[in-house]
Amino acid sequence: MKAQCTTGKERRIKRWEHEHVVDAMQRRLDLKPDAMRVRRRTAQHPFGTIKAWMGATHFLTRGLRRVSTEMSLHVLAYNMKRVIAIRGIEPLLAALPAR
């Protein structure tokens, strides 16, 4: 590798200040090469579903605060539908506080 190095007096390597995070992630991926495939199937699926529900279009509101609220409502709706699909409506209603 020394032959590929510069011959200048000052030898510097520039790295991003958070490069250690990228290195750690790469080490984890080297130990578990199928991790990204598993993540793609689990973590990415809800985002694709929510995007499809939204009509794969833009948010209906403008501004970070309003868009954040809109996204939170989409996520809440997704989670509620998942709970109902997995557990049924009765446990969900039982878990809600009485009004």
- Is residue 1 in a domain? no
What domain range is 88 assigned to?
Answer: 58-99
Task: Please state the rounded mean pLDDT for residues 55-76.
Answer: 86
Query: Within 10 Å of residue 14's Cβ, how many Cβ atoms?
Result: 5
| Residue 81 falls inside a structural domain | yes
Average pLDDT over residues 72-94: 88
Q: What percent of the chain has pLDDT over 90?
A: 22
Provide the pLDDT for residue 26.
92
How many structural domains is the chain composed of?
2
Enter the tokens of residue 93.
Answer: 């209603």
Structure tokens at 7: 């011959």
Q: Are residues 98 and 64 in the same domain?
A: yes
Instruction: Give the pLDDT band (50/70/90) at residue 30.
Output: very high
Q: How many angstroms separate the CA atoms of 93 and 95, rounded?
A: 5
Q: Are residues 50 and 65 in the same domain?
A: no
Tell me, what's the pLDDT at 99? 56
Q: Which residue has the higher pLDDT, 86 or 44?
A: 86
Average pLDDT over residues 3-25: 82
Q: Are residues 48 and 68 in the same domain?
A: no
Residue 3 maps to a domain: no
Evaluate whether residue 97 is within a structural domain: yes
